[in-house]
Amino acid sequence: MIGIVDYGMGNLYSLSRALIRLEESYFISDHAEKLDEADGLILPGVGAFKDAMALLNEKKLTGFLRSYARERPLMGICLGMQLLFDESEEGSLTRGLALLPGRVVRFSGTAENGESYKVPHIGWNTLDFSKPDSPLLQNLNPDYAYFVHSYYAVTDRPSILIASADYHGLVPAVVGNGLVFGTQFHPEKSGGFGQALLNNYLRFVRNVPRSESIADSGGDA
């Protein structure tokens, strides 16, 4: 059973439809006690980092998600992936879930040769696999994925980089460490490749032994 974290800034319809196509049981909730029933969580997100963290704190989900990810799988999508990092410069410097090392920064809009480029990064882009043996990339080949974002993650820990895209520089596209994964692109909008990646995450969730309840183990932030 997959839980989708509903904190008010996620594109829940397309993700729900993707899980239905994969014949996966799921539920949507913004309550830690209910989300704690899930074998794995998906954290979607569309919008601003600062607003998203404010809502997670308000709903008392920040500490819960940090604790949950120590015991069971958590996957962030788009803004949800960015929330997994230490902090973001969007708006003002804001602390994230700090499950992955790094900072979220804005595309500069100016290439090294001085030419301007379009921000946000919107559309299909090819992926380069850094860790093809990752559970998320099992039996997959590098393909196109659909991106919509103005900010991207910067990290000094190359070990968390699973796949990347090139948009006037390296853009972490799939990241992960332990039970925590994230995709900067939208797998639910990335055709057959995205469906296969989501299915790999579901398979990973099913293979992780279920731990004890942790709903009361985390603080608000």
Residue 57 has phi, psi (to 5 degrees) of: -65, -45
**Can you give the three-state secondary structure of 77-144, one letter per residue?**
ECHHHHCCEEEECCCCCEECCCCEEEEEEECCCECCCCCECCCCEEEEEECEECCCCCHHHCCCCCCE
CA–CA dist 181, 100 (Å, integer): 9
> First CA to last CA across the chain, in angstroms?
26
CA–CA dist 165, 132 (Å, integer): 14
Paired tokens of 46? 């569309």
- Please tell me what DSSP assigns to residue 210: P
Residue 189, number of CB atoms within 10 A of its CB: 18
By annotation, the residues acting in catalysis are 78, 186, 188
User: SS3 for 50?
Assistant: helix
